[in-house]
Amino acid sequence: MLKNHLKIALRTVIRYRNYTVLNVLGLSVGVAACLLLYVVYTYESGFDKFHSKADRIYRIVRQNDYPTGQTDYTPGSPLPYYAALKVDMPQIGTIVPVWGTLEPQVTILGKDANNQTSKKKFYEDNDGLLTVPEFFDLFDFPFLIGSRTVLKDPNVIVLSQRRAEKYFGKWQEAMGQYVKINNKTVMKVGGIIANPPLNTDFPIDIVVSYESKRQQPLAFGFGGFESWGGTSSNDQLFVLLPENVAPASINKLFVKFVAKHYNKKENAQIKQFLAPLADQHHDKRFINYADHIIDRNVLWTLVVIGVLIIAMACINFINLATVQSARRSREVGVRKVLGSGRAELMRQFLSETVLIVGFAVLLGVIIAMLCMPLLGKISRVPVDLPVIQNPEMWLFVIGLALIVSFIAGFYPAVVMSGFKPIEAIKSKIANRSLGGVSLQKTLIIVQFGISQILVVGTIVTIAQMNYIGNLDLGFVKEGVYNVNLDDAYKSRFEAFRNELEQSPDISSVSFSSDVPSSDNNWSGNFAFGNRGKDEDFQVFNKFADQDYFQTYGFEFVAGGPYQAGDSVGSCVVNETFLAKVGIKNPQEGIGKNLRMGGGEWQPIVGVVKDFKANSARDAAKPIVIMPMPQYYWMAGVKIKTQNVSKAVASIEKIYSQVFPEVALQGKFFDQSIEEFYNQERQLSLLYQIFAGLSIFIACLGLFGLATFMAQQRMKEIGVRKVLGASVSSIVGLLSRDFLMLVFIAILLASPVAWYFMDKWLQDFEYKIHMSWWMFAVSAVLAILIAFTTVSFQSIKAALMNPVKSLRSD
C-alpha cells in the first residue's frame, strides 16, 4: 500500500510540476534559513554548557549603587577576596580565582630558558588566563599530558594542543620547553590540554599558574593581595557550590561579608551576589573574558524569525494545495465511488506532502551548507564550526521535516478527503472558508504581515546605524593609527615619539592608557573643591599625555590642555563632570581642585566638550583626563598624508627599530569604534536578509495563487474582452483583491513592528525616533512587489485571445 501511495504521489508531483516547483522552492529556502538560524542559536546558547558541573558553577559579581542614582556593575573582585572568602564563608564550596585576559606576546625560547636570540614571536589577541589547579575541578578541559597540579608552582604555563603545535610543531614535544611572556617572565611548559570547544568564554589556550601573579602582581594586572580598595574586572572569582546549597543562601552571607570588610558608606553601595555560569555569555551588565556577549532577546529574535520564515513556507504549501482542491475534486470523487475511504485518501495526500517536503528539505540542507561560510557576516559563528558532524543538527533536520510535513499537509488532506463524491464529480467544489473569510486570503495577510514587520525592522536598524555613523563623537576618529606599547620598555617611549615626529607623514603622537572611545570603564572615588569627603558618585579616568587632545581633536569649551612635564599636577574634565558637581558655566570650573582616591589635590585646567567615551548605548559619563605615565599602554599616531599605506609602513619600520623585541599590534582608531556595533550591524544585516527571504517566499505563494485565479476566471476574462474591456481594466480586476489583502496586512503589522523596534531602540542612549516615512516606505515596497507579482499573470491572461479562452473547457 505504501509503495502504491508513493507511486501515485510521484505521478501527481510530476503532473502538477509548476505547483511542485513553487512549493519545493519556497520550502527549501525556508528550511535553509531555519537551519542557518538553528546553527547560530545552538552555538550562541551553548557557551560553557558542556561542563558537567555547569549547573553548580557561579561567578561572584558586584553591583554598586550610589546615592545620586548611579549604578555600575563589575564581575571583578578585589584580590584579598579569595583568601577572605575561604575563611569567612566556608559554605561557599570550592573557590577559583581567574585573571584574564592575558593577551600576551609569546616568545619561543625552546629548551634554553636563557635564550636571548629567539625571533619566534607570537601576539595572542584576547587569549590567556591565570588560575589555580582547582580550576580544572570546576571546568572540563581535559589534560593530554601533565596534570592540573603543575599549576601549584610559579612560572608554569599550560598550553592547548593547537597552541603547542603552533609554537613547537608537535604538541608532544612542547613539554619542558620554555617561553617568555610579554618579554618579562620566562615560563616552563608543564602540561597540554585538549583543544577546547569553540563555544567557551574562557581564553583557555594559554593557562599560567596563579602563583606567578602572587610573586609578580604588577606583571599580571594591578593592585596587591592586601588591597581592598581596587577592583579590576580582570580579577574574577568562580565558585562550585556544594550540592543542595542554594545561591540565595550564599547571597545572604555576602551581606555580612561586605559589612565586615568595608566601612558603612561603602557597605551601603556594594551588593555582592552569585551569577550563574549560564548567564556569563548573555548578561550585558557584566563583561566576560571573551568580550562576546549576546542578549538572550537577540537569540529569541532569531528563533522567532526562523519560525516565521518556515511558517510562511508552510502557508504557501497550504494555499497552493487548497486552491488545487477544485482541480482534483473529480479524482477524489472517482476514488470515493470506487471504495476509497477518507483515511486512505488522507494517507495518499499526506504521502504527496512528505515527498515534496523530502525534496525541499534535501535541497534546503544543500543550500544551508553552501551558505555556511557566509554565517560570519551575520553572526560570530566560526567558519570551522563542525556542523555536519553534529548529530543534533541532523535530529533537528528530521524533526523539522516531520513538523513541516504535518503542518503543511494535514489541512489540505483533511479538506480534499472530505469532498462529497457527487459534488466532486460534478466539479461543484468551492474554495473552503474559515469564519466567512477564505483561508487563502487569511494566509496571504499573515504572510505579508510578517514581511512588513521584517522590512520595517530592516529600515529602522539601517537608519539607527547610519545615525550612529554620523553622530558627533566629540573627537576626530579618522586618521589616527593606534599602536600597543609594551611597558617593559617605557624608557624608549620618548625615542619612539621623536622618531615618529620626524616623519613628514605624521602630525602628532600621543601616549595614553586608552583611546577616547572604548569599552574601558576605569572608575574611582574622588573629592572635589577641597571638600573633606568624597563625592557621592564615581568618575571615569583616562590617563594621557599633553598631546592627547591635539591627536584626537578634542574641542575645549573652557581652558586648554595641561602642559608637558605635568606629572599628576593638573587635569582636564568633561562637561558632564562639571554638571554633576553643580557647576553650570564651564569657565567657573577652571582652577577648581579635585583629588582622585587618596592622591594629591590637582587643579582643573581645561574642560572638553562631552565626547562618546563608550558606545552610543551609554549616556555621557563624568570623565577626568590626567597625565600618569605609568599607565601608558597605547600610542596614537595622527597621520596627515593621503598616502596612508606609506605612513603605516613608516610607523611599522620605526617601531621595529625602537622595539625589536616586540611584535607590533596596530590598527586605525575608527576600526575600533566600528567594533562597538558589530552585533547591531549583524542584526541589521540579518533583518535585511530575512526580510528579503520573507518577501521572496510570500511572492512565490502569491504568484501561484494569481496563476490559479487567472485560470479559474479565463472565460470571464474572454467575455469581458469581447465586450470591450481593456487590458488595464482586466489587470486591475485581477489585482485589486490581492492588493487589498496586502494593504490589510500592512495595517495590522505596522503597530507590531513599531512595538518591537521601539523596544530595540531603548538599548541606545543616542537613538533615532521612528517616523511615519519608515512605515510608508515599507508599505509602498510591499504593494509594488505584490502588484508586480500578480500583474505578471494578470497581463498574460488579459492578452490571451478571447476566442481561445471561450473555447476552453
145 and 28, same domain (yes or no): no
627 and 586, same domain (yes or no): yes
509 and 657, same domain (yes or no): yes
Q: What is the DSSP letter of 686?
A: H
Work out the end-to-end distance of the chain between its first and last CA atoms, rounded to an integer number of angstroms. Answer: 34
Residue 288 included in any domain: no
Average confidence (pLDDT) over 720-740: 72
* Mean pLDDT for all residues in the chain: 84
Calculate the dihedral angle through the C-alpha atoms of 626, 627, 631, 634, rounding to the nearest 10 degrees: 90
Residue 750 included in any domain: no
Pick from 8-22, 163-177, 532-546 the range whose average pLDDT is largest: 163-177
Angstrom distance (rounded) from CA 358 to CA 365: 11
pLDDT in tens, 567-622: 557 999 999 999 999 999 999 999 999 998 778 889 999 999 999 988 888 888 99
- Would the pLDDT of 253 be above 80? yes
Residue 473 included in any domain: no
77 and 199, same domain (yes or no): yes
Smallest CA-to-CA distance from 553 within 642, 669, 632 is with 669
Q: Cis link prior to 101 (omega < 30° from 0)? A: yes
More confident residue, 686 or 413: 686
Angstrom distance (rounded) from CA 651 to CA 660: 13
11 and 130, same domain (yes or no): no
Residue 682 included in any domain: no
Ramachandran angles phi, psi of 545, nearest 5°: -85, -175
236 and 316, same domain (yes or no): no
Q: Are 393 and 38 in contact (CB under 8 A)?
A: yes
Query: Which pLDDT band, with edges at 50, 70 and 90, does 675 fall under?
Result: confident
Angstrom distance (rounded) from CA 526 to CA 598: 8
Angstrom distance (rounded) from CA 612 to CA 634: 19
Per-residue pLDDT, 809: 47
244 and 386, same domain (yes or no): no
Per-residue pLDDT, 434: 35
Instruction: Give the three cell numbers for residue 44.
Output: 550562541
Angstrom distance (rounded) from CA 81 to CA 84: 5
- Would the pLDDT of 90 be above 80? yes
pLDDT in tens, 466-498: 888 888 888 888 899 999 998 888 899 999 999
Per-residue pLDDT, 340: 59
- Model's pTM, two decimal places? 0.85
Angstrom distance (rounded) from CA 97 to CA 236: 6
Q: Are 127 and 205 in contact (CB under 8 A)?
A: yes
Average confidence (pLDDT) over 1-10: 56
Residue 448 included in any domain: no
Instruction: Give the three cell numbers for residue 444.
Output: 496571504
272 and 302, same domain (yes or no): no
Smallest CA-to-CA distance from 275 within 290, 265, 267, 285 is with 285
Last residue of a domain, one of 248, 279, 310: 279
Per-residue pLDDT, 724: 67
Residue 441 included in any domain: no
Residue 156 included in any domain: yes
- Would the pLDDT of 347 be above 90? no
- Would the pLDDT of 432 be above 50? no
Residue 700 included in any domain: no
pLDDT in tens, 108-156: 999 998 888 888 889 898 899 999 999 999 999 999 999 999 999 999 9
- Please report, for the chain, how many H helices and E strands are present, in that order: 26, 27
**3-state SS of 718-737?**
HHHHHCCCCHHHHHHHHHHH
**3-state SS of 625-648?**
EECCHHHCCEEEEEECCCCHHHHH
pLDDT in tens, 615-670: 888 888 999 999 999 889 999 999 987 788 899 999 999 999 999 888 888 999 98
Domain extent, residue 624, equals 487-661
Query: Which pLDDT band, with edges at 50, 70 and 90, does 435 fall under?
Result: very low
144 and 214, same domain (yes or no): yes
Last residue of a domain, one of 621, 637, 661: 661
60 and 36, same domain (yes or no): no
Residue 508 pairs in a beta bridge with: 638
Last residue of a domain, one of 634, 661, 688: 661
- Would the pLDDT of 674 be above 90? no
Buried b (16+ CB within 10 A) or exposed e, 423-440: ebbeeebeebeeeeebbb
Angstrom distance (rounded) from CA 56 to CA 50: 13
Crossing angle of helices 439-469/678-712, nearest 10°? 150
Q: Are 387 and 381 in contact (CB under 8 A)?
A: no
424 and 522, same domain (yes or no): no
231 and 85, same domain (yes or no): yes
Per the structure, the count of domains in the chain is: 3
Pairing of strands 185-193, 156-160: parallel
Angstrom distance (rounded) from CA 693 to CA 256: 56
Angstrom distance (rounded) from CA 675 to CA 528: 35
